[in-house]
Amino acid sequence: MLAARVFHHLDEAGEALAEWRRVLRPGGRLVTADSDAATTVIEGVDPAAATAVAAWRASMLPGGPVVAHLAARLAEAGFGSVSVESHLLEVGSLDRADGVMGLADWGEPAGAVGALGPDAARRWRGWVEGAVAAGRLRFRYRYEVGSAVAV
């Protein structure tokens, strides 16, 4: 079973792991790959705004705590032969950071209360675009790739 970019979105991520363990026959393998939003770092923009935006983004992904402790949570769900590799994703291109994740809109997402107050939210996109133009935007986080066997 493959679950890519799923856990961090789930309100009940721990329960999903337990259910996937239940439906896999013994010896069945679960492979997962998810971002650990709690590790997000945004550099090249206003540091206080970057910290607030990164924290807000992590708070919007309810399954994040499962991803942050993936090996332990897989074992708790009854999987064996647990293996988790951590990979750093780092981008400096707004095309990649914005196209994949919407970075420039995180200050004040459409229809949502964002990370920043109204004044800073209006400036966020400009800060991000300015950092790209100056070659100093760095957006990074850890990606956790896990593999486990139903026992």
Domain count across the chain: 1
User: In the chain, which ranges are continuous DSSP H helix?
Assistant: 13-23, 47-59, 64-68, 70-76, 94-101, 118-133
Q: What is the pLDDT of residues 1-36, one digit of tens each?
A: 999 999 889 999 999 999 999 999 999 999 999 999
Q: What pLDDT is stored for residue 117 in this prediction?
A: 75
pTM: 0.83
Q: Are 94 and 128 in contact (CB under 8 A)?
A: yes
Sheet arrangement for strand 79-91 = 2-4, 29-43, 138-150, 79-91
| Range in 39-43, 91-95, 99-103, 136-140 the model is least confident about | 99-103
Residue with tokens 């492979």: 31
Q: What is the pLDDT of residues 90-135, one digit of tens each?
A: 987 877 766 556 788 887 765 556 678 777 887 888 898 899 889 9
Residue with tokens 């399954």: 63
Domain assignment of residue 136, given as a range: 2-150
